[in-house]
Structure 1
Amino acid sequence: MMRVKKKITVGKIIVYSFLALAVLTALFPFYFMIVSATASQGEILNIPPNLFFSDKLFHNWEVLNQKIDIIRVLFNSLFITITYTCLTLILHSMAGFALTKYEFKGKKFIFLLILMTMMIPAQVLYVPLFELMNNMGWANSYQAVILPGLANAFGIFLMRQNMMAFPISLIEAARIDGCGEFGIFTRITLPNMKPALGALAIYMFMTQWNSFMWPLIILSTKDMYTFPVALAVLDGMAWKKDYGVIMLGTTIAVLPIALMFLFMQKHFVAGIMGGAIKE
């Protein structure tokens, strides 16, 4: 028994040591990014590089604010991303509810068409979407960034798969009690879909927050830029790069995603697993 316990203990030590090394390896780039945000160009490019916090944080902040107006960029990104996320949660949950709890002709065919849109490259749609937004007078506006990507096939698929597990008997009982369809959806179905909604919220938030190509095409003035576009402007010419300023901007851009994932990671895992149901 003692030998078995020793083997188990040694095995655990090896596993935990490997996991600790993997965690450190994964987190080191983020640590270096945060440290570099407080350092000057020379300290970052030093060999070996500086691995401790420096005193250039406020200087980097002033330069960053002069180049891209960081408060305005932060507002643009938060407003576009939060609005987009809230609208997609409503739209995708309604679509998932309709595709699982209502019977109508062509339901499976419609769902198949929705899935087929996932095979269309986004780049194919940029030119017609730009012409449409421009003709409507929406170029360089918030709605031009938010509205075209609302109907996301993955979001509809995720909500449909999760709602398939919701018992139809509860819905029928609510109808017998006189509850309307909207009340059934908002008061009975959605409260039981919190894990799926949490997973979808994280996915959509990250998708819109990191979106680069479409905002770059449709937004033409600096006061409308989102973080990915603004950071691309920061990059500039090779001999004009200030890596301390770039790292500070990147740190600010990464922070909202990291915080959201930390607070909602349980819902994310539960929602993804909930979508693994077979029809």
Structure 2
Amino acid sequence: MAAVALAPRSRPRRSPLRRVGPWLFFVAMLAVALLVLLPIIIIVFTAFKPVAEVNAFPPSLLPTDWTLDNFTRIFNELPFGRLILNSFVFAGGVTLCALVFDSLAAYVLARVDFRGSRILLLVIVASLMIPFQATLIPIYQLVADFGWVNTFWGLIIPRAADAFGIFFLRQFFLSLPRDLDNAARIDGASEFRIFRSIVLPNAVPALLTLGIYTFVNNWNDLLWPLVFTTEQEMGTITSGLTLLTGPSGIIPYGVMMAGSLIAVVPLAIMFLFVQRRFIESVASTGLK
């Protein structure tokens, strides 16, 4: 029987749309990234503009005469070094306290069975629905009664624990297998030993996420330092920038942009430092 020669099947040709599709997607993502980064780009370029170019109309994006005068003025017109230190103490202190107290409360609600735990959780979640401004005046009265106005105690202690952090960590702790807890209890480990040696090492991704969120939120906060500090030496970067005024009440936007750029640098460095540790902890969760 003679073999029938089969003609090779031609490969289906890709449509022009499928070939152009990846490039269109790349251009769209690049446009979105530039749109998101546009405020930061404006801050960077404005910080290096002289006063005449900052106030010029129509405005230009790139400065024609690059200058460092705005960075010099920010340190001459404000105790900016002290403001940076205050911001680190305030945001860092709140972050450390929140991680300790939120994780302890979340562990009890997630891993310890006791009567009334669900009611307590509902109360904590319900407190998230109360506007922050509604509790600001009562908290200020308590802080004033303790004599903590214009002190780090008054800035940090009222924010030492957070309902969102407790709920967030509780949900993460629930995802951890209880077999580890039960095995440790059989060996005679206490609840605090289980919390410290088993739960926390496996909750590093959640702790880093909550730590970054808390630090950035307090670092950028404006209303809280304005209310609880009346002395310039106890202010933070955000509250200090509001004190910048030029002749006739004109705001020196170049100086303000220089201060804002300096305020962003620690956050960028912290993110780059924590990012690698965050990825490693996610990959190793449950293996310790």
Q: Deviations over 1:33-56 (max 9, x none)?
A: 111111112112333414147432
TM-score between the two structures when normalised by the length of structure 1: 0.89
Which residue of 35, 44, 47 corresponds with 2:45? 35
The match for 2:125 among 112, 115, 122 is: 115
Aligned equivalent of 2:154: 144
Mark the CA change 1:120 to 1:53 in structure 2 (over 3 Å): closer, same or farther: farther
Greater Cα shift, 202-211 or 228-237? 228-237
> Helix, strand or coil: the match of 2:113?
coil
Q: CA deviation at 1:32?
A: 1.9
1:20 aligns with 2:30: yes
Partner of 2:167: 157
User: 3-state SS of the aligned residue for 1:233?
Assistant: coil
Are 1:4 and 2:14 matched, yes or no?
yes
Aligned to 2:106: 96
- For 1:241-260, list aligned pairs within 5 A: 241-260=251-270
- Note the C-alpha offset of 1:194: 1.1
Question: Contact (CA 8 Å) 2:110, 2:170: kept in 1 or not?
Answer: yes
- Look at both structures and tell me which one has the larger radius of gyration over its CA atoms: 2
TM-score normalised according to structure 2 size: 0.87
Q: Is the 8 A contact 2:246 2:252 kept in 1?
A: no
Distance 1:236 1:173 in 2: 66
Q: Counterpart of 1:129 in 2: which secondary structure?
A: helix
The question of whether the paired residues in 2 share the 8 Å contact of 1:235 and 1:246 is answered with no
The residue type equivalent to 1:49 in the other structure is S
Matches within 5 A, 1:251-270: 251-264=261-274, 267=278
Work out whether 1:234 is the aligned partner of 2:244: yes
| One-letter identity of the residue aligned with 2:196 | T
Using the alignment, how far apart are the partners of 1:25 and 1:254 within structure 2? 18
Aligned residue type for 1:42: A
User: Aligned partners of 1:262 and 1:53: how far apart in 2?
Assistant: 31
RMSD: 2.2
Tell me whether 1:186 sits opposite 2:196 in the alignment: yes
Aligned counterparts of 1:31 and 1:144: Cα–Cα separation in 2? 36
Q: In the comparison of the two structures, how many residue pairs are matched? A: 270
Which range is displaced more, 170-179 or 103-112?
Answer: 170-179
Alignment-derived partner of residue 179 in structure 2: 169
255-264 or 151-160, which moves further after superposition?
Answer: 255-264
Q: Is the 8 A contact 1:35 1:51 kept in 2?
A: yes
